[in-house]
């Protein structure tokens, strides 16, 4: 196996920050023989030495990935089913086995990055994990009743290939079916089979050699693909920096305009209650708008304005919180001190039942915090009274600052 620093130097991608299924993960797999399709490489005809259609198809797929720098998008209901249930399956596996599962995006066997596996996790007992969510309950029943003998041949190849890449001696193989009324998770341990692994040791080098011959004929190399990944990564980093700078410049301009005009913030409903002790809000800096996004058609800068005035603001989870200069959110509790408590309502399109349910939650928060919070106009259009309430609150806060906190 190779470490993350080697991958970073070759591709510009920090594999420790990559998630399976992400764009960067797909890029890392381009042209590499992976465990999920390892059975294709060792497939053999019933007679003769001619490659099977399965092996030839996989060969052409990898060549195309290197030549185009793209991986074909596969959409199938069984794959979607697996993605939908994967997280629950993993948590249930951890609960039933008592093991901790660590995310492992991708593991390369050698520095040439031609052979890789992406296990569903690295378990705290030192074993790898392959977790399947069968699309049909029939397949789950077959595995549940037959254990190891019920594992499909392509899955056996996948697990043994994973042990070949990582050097592990055993692998957890688990199936999860949420439709089962009981015992929806079943797990077996697959031991390393060196005789089986010898198939990879024989077939993979030949497969790679023939890939290189085909690439040379087409005028491509794998090194060219890796160089392209580095260049693309550099371009993306430059774009991210430029976009971030532009976004911050726009935000500062909007805040400056707001401060000069002292105009009310449009189209949000708020309530301000000043019956709280006056404290020093450690801000004065712009709060990252992404941490305040989602209340008013994603105009998070409006919430950032409120935060920078030293108020307590409500987030998407309907909990009052303070967004500090270091971008950490502090829940409101009985020991909280603030210049004002602000409630941003997000009730447009909510039913009356949903709103009443939220009111009950808010009553509990009031008891815990000792701060009374009232709602303004939650059902109708946001009116002038709401805007005026904000103006009055901001004026009072500024006055308190000038007088050193006196009301």
Tens of pLDDT, residue by residue over 9-58, are: 777 788 888 889 888 898 889 899 999 999 999 998 887 778 999 999 99
Model confidence band, residue 308 (pLDDT cutoffs 50, 70, 90): very low
What is d(CA 298, CA 304) in angstroms, rounded to the nearest whole number?
A: 12
Predicted confidence (pLDDT) per residue in 353-399, tens digit: 555 565 565 556 555 544 444 433 333 333 444 445 444 544 554 55
Q: What is the pLDDT of residue 77?
A: 84
> By mean pLDDT, which of 141-145, 216-220, 250-254 is the weakest?
250-254
Q: What is the pLDDT of residue 245?
A: 66
Residue pair 338/323 in contact (Cβ under 8 Å)? The answer is no
Q: What is the pLDDT of residue 192?
A: 96
Helix (H) or strand (E) holding 313, with range, is strand 311-314
What is d(CA 77, CA 75) in angstroms, rounded to the nearest whole number?
A: 7
Q: Is the pLDDT of residue 330 over 80?
A: no
Q: Across all residues in the chain, what is the average pLDDT?
A: 69
Q: Which two tokens stand for residue 92?
A: 């249930």
* Per-residue b or e along 228-258, where b marks 16 or more CB atoms closer than 10 Å to that residue's CB: ebeebbeeeeeeeeeeeeeeeeebeebeeeb
Q: Higher confidence at residue 351 or residue 167?
A: 167
Percent of the chain at pLDDT > 70 equals 55
Domains contained in the chain, CATH given: 4-234 (3.90.320.10), 262-402 (no CATH)
C-alpha Rg value of the chain to the nearest Å: 29
Q: What is the pLDDT of residue 302?
A: 38
Q: What is the pLDDT of residue 273?
A: 33
Q: Is the pLDDT of residue 281 over 70?
A: no
> By mean pLDDT, which of 231-245, 273-287, 387-401 is the weakest?
273-287
Residue pair 113/226 in contact (Cβ under 8 Å)? The answer is yes
Q: Is pTM, for the whole model, over 0.75? A: no
> By mean pLDDT, which of 133-142, 247-256, 271-280, 322-331 is the weakest?
271-280
Model confidence band, residue 288 (pLDDT cutoffs 50, 70, 90): very low
How are beta strands 101-102 and 121-123 bridged, if at all?
antiparallel
CB-count burial class (<10 Å; 0-12, 13-18, 19+) for 72: exposed
Q: Is the pLDDT of residue 127 over 80?
A: yes
Q: Higher confidence at residue 300 or residue 256?
A: 256
Q: Is the pLDDT of residue 162 over 90?
A: yes
Q: Is the pLDDT of residue 271 over 80?
A: no
| 138, 141, 147, 148 from 135: Cα distances, Å | 9, 12, 18, 19
Q: What is the pLDDT of residue 269?
A: 30
Predicted confidence (pLDDT) per residue in 187-217, tens digit: 999 999 999 999 999 999 999 999 999 988 8
Percent of the chain at pLDDT > 90 equals 33
Q: Is the pLDDT of residue 142 over 80?
A: yes
> Sheet containing 107-108: which strands, arranged edge to edge?
33-34, 115-117, 107-108
Predicted confidence (pLDDT) per residue in 338-347, tens digit: 333 333 333 3
> By mean pLDDT, which of 231-245, 268-282, 304-318 is the weakest?
268-282
Q: Is the pLDDT of residue 261 over 60?
A: no
> By mean pLDDT, which of 77-86, 154-163, 223-232, 317-326 is the weakest?
317-326
Q: What is the pLDDT of residue 106?
A: 94
What is d(CA 339, CA 407) in angstroms, rounded to the nearest whole number?
A: 10
- Read off the pLDDT of each residue in 220-241 and give the average, rounded to a whole number: 59
Which residues does residue 101 pair with via DSSP β-bridges, in sequence order?
A: 123
Q: Higher confidence at residue 355 or residue 264?
A: 355
- Read off the pLDDT of each residue in 94-112 and give the average, rounded to a whole number: 91
Going by C-beta distance under 8 Å and a sequence separation of 6 or more, which residues neighbour residue 157? 35, 38, 39, 42
């Amino acid at each position: 196996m190779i470490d993350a620093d080697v991958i970073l130097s070759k591709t510009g991608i920090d594999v420790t920050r990559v998630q399976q299924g992400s764009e960067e993960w797909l890029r890392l797999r381009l042209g590499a023989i992976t465990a999920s399709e390892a059975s294709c490489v060792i497939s053999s005809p019933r007679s003769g030495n001619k490659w099977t259609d399965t092996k030839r198809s996989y060969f052409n797929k990898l060549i195309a990935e290197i030549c185009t720098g793209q991986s074909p998008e596969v959409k199938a209901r069984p794959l979607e089913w697996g993605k939908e249930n994967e997280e629950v399956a993993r948590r249930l596996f951890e609960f039933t086995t008592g093991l901790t599962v660590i995310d492992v995006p991708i593991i390369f066997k050698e520095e040439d990055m031609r052979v890789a596996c992406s296990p569903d996790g690295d378990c705290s007992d030192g074993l790898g994990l392959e977790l399947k969510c069968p699309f049909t309950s029939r397949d789950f029943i077959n595995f549940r009743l037959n254990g190891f003998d019920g594992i499909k041949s392509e899955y056996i190849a996948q697990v043994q290939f994973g042990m070949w890449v990582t050097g592990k001696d055993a692998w957890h193989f688990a199936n999860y079916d949420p439709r089962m009324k009981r015992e929806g998770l079943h797990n077996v341990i697959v031991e390393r089979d060196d005789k089986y692994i010898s198939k990879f040791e024989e077939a993979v080098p030949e497969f790679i050699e023939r890939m290189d011959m085909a690439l040379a004929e087409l005028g491509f190399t794998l090194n060219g693909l890796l160089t392209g990944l580095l260049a693309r990564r550099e371009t993306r980093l430059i774009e991210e920096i430029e976009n971030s700078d532009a976004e911050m410049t726009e935000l500062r301009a909007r805040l400056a305009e707001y401060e000069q005009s002292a105009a009310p913030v449009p189209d949000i409903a708020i309530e301000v209650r000043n019956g709280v002790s006056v404290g020093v809000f450690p801000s004065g800096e712009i709060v990252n708008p992404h941490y305040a996004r989602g209340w008013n058609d994603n105009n998070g800068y409006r919430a950032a304005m409120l935060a920078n005035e030293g108020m307590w603001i409500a987030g998407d989870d309907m909990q009052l919180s303070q967004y500090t200069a270091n971008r950490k959110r502090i829940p409101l509790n009985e020991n909280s001190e603030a210049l004002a408590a602000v409630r941003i309502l997000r009730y447009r399109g909510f039913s009356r039942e949903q709103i009443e349910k939220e009111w009950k939650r808010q009553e509990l928060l009031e008891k815990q915090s000792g701060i009374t919070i009232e709602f303004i106009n939650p059902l109708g259009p946001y009116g002038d009274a709401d805007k005026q309430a904000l103006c009055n609150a901001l004026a009072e806060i500024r006055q308190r600052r000038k007088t050193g906190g006196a009301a």
